[in-house]
Structure 1
């Protein structure tokens, strides 16, 4: 992504230079940020419009079929696993992961930048999830809940936060100087964790499958947007003309 962003800003500079003899060197970055905001607003608007399908009978049928299939696997051992996984995707789970990430950043990178960025991504996803829940106002499934819940259903906060938080960790892993085996192992583990957190919410009876899909999509939109903004800021700081 960074290389594509560098190329885009470079081309934008060339375009502005040919159209205007003099222009503010910060302008290409402001234009890029503005375009990123327009894209994310468009994506969110499209996401909200797609929620109209939540009332369709076809989606309700798929939700019921997928939920019934997953519930057939309920057993004490699997319940313990999914309760643990769902806790990993909750507040205390994130606090532990952030604590570990802080220790790694301090001892290996001597920088808090990555921790701050990761926490910011999580906060953005969590706040936007609360807003989306209130706007869409979908009730929880009317089946047995194996864990207590108090908020609304769509989109799943666990799925959205997991995709944003652990998805951003996946991005960071791709940027570090690690062996291919280490990168592949960590990425596979985090990807499995994201998927497990999503499935756990269906298994525990507190979300429809469409809640999880919506949460994953919304979380992906935010993590891509945050990565884009972080890269723009980094390139802006390194630009000798700014």
Structure 2
């Protein structure tokens, strides 16, 4: 994927050179930042629109209908499964997964670059989620909670961290895995975990569906921002190596 991004930027650069009859070595980076701004600005606007509508009748109606539908499937065995899934998206689950991926990246690639990137994505997503919760200050749903929670509700930290962390793992799968079978198997697994973690929070009664939607949007903005910044750094490094 990184190579495709690089080729696309280089092709766009040639087009701009011909169009504007000038050669500026920084055009590729300007283009990449421009596309980043589009994604971030659109995402932020969607997030703000959703946040502003949290108390509207439409959102309240959807929250109620979806929550009632999801919790109608509660059974003792499914309760245990959903509790396990939600633990995969909790701090201890990420600590275990981070340790596993750290070992893999170091043994496979003999450097700490992907480890540092992974920790930045996950750590900053958690910190920004905490800040958003405090600013928006939405209480948890009144439904019976099947797990203990102490923090505020919107946006869902589990949903935001899931799409940030597992979304970044999906990106790395595209970039690093050569085997198509393994690549798409991992993408399916990470995609399943993103969806399942979000559903588990509604099922367990600790989040409104709009909390999950807000978490997904915020997490998507963050992971796209991080991936773009990482690629800008890589493009600068490659540019320096060419000189």
Q: Which residue of 2 aligns with 1:35?
A: 34
2:206 corresponding residue in structure 1:
206
User: Quick check: 1:196 aligned with 2:167?
Assistant: no
Query: Residues 21 and 206 of structure 1: is their aligned pair in 2 closer, same or farther, counting only changes over 3 Å?
Result: closer
Deviations 1:65-122 (A, max 9, x none): 1111111111111111111111111111101001000111122111211111111111
Alpha-carbon spacing, 1:155–1:8, altered in 2? closer, same or farther (3 Å):
same
**Cα pair 2:29 2:232 within 8 Å, conserved:** no
| 1:137–1:153 contact (8 Å) kept in structure 2 | yes
Give the paired residue count: 240
What's 1:173 paired with?
173
Cα displacement (A) at 1:175: 1.3
Contact 2:9–2:32 under 8 Å retained in 1: no
How do residues 119-158 of structure 1 correspond to structure 2 at under 5 angstroms? 119-158=119-158
The answer to whether the 8 Å contact 1:29/1:236 transfers is no
Once the two structures are TM-superposed, the CA of residue 30 in structure 1 deviates from its matched residue by: 5.6
Cα 1:18–1:62 shift into 2, 3 Å? closer
Task: Identify the residue that residue 8 of structure 1 maps to in structure 2.
Answer: 9
Partner of 2:62: 62
1:26-82 Cα distance to aligned partner (Å, 9 max, x none)? x43663465356432453244113311211112111111111111111111111111
CA contact (8 A) 2:70 2:202 kept: yes
Cα distance between partner residues in 2 of 1:22 and 1:68: 59
Asked if the contact 1:159–1:216 (Cα under 8 Å) also holds between the matched residues in 2, the reply is: yes
CA RMSD of aligned residues (A): 2.3
**Alignment partners' CA distance in 1, 2:124 and 2:27:** 25
Q: TM-score, normalised by structure 2?
A: 0.88
- Going from structure 1 to structure 2, the CA distance change for 1:30 and 1:8 (only over 3 Å counts) comes to closer
CA contact (8 A) 1:89 1:161 kept: yes
Distance 1:33 1:184, change over 3 A: closer
User: Alignment partner of 1:55: what SS?
Assistant: coil
Gap regions ≥5 residues in structure 1: none
Structure 1's 18 and 63: CA in aligned 2 closer, same or farther, altered over 3 A? closer
Distance 1:143 1:97, change over 3 A: same
Does residue 1:74 correspond to 2:74, yes or no? Answer: yes
TM-score, normalised with respect to structure 1: 0.88
Partner SS state of residue 106, structure 2: helix
Corresponding residue of 2:97: 97
Go from structure 1 to structure 2 and tell me whether the alpha carbon gap of 1:222 and 1:77 turns closer, same or farther (over 3 Å shift). Answer: same
Q: What residue in structure 1 maps to residue 233 of structure 2?
A: 233
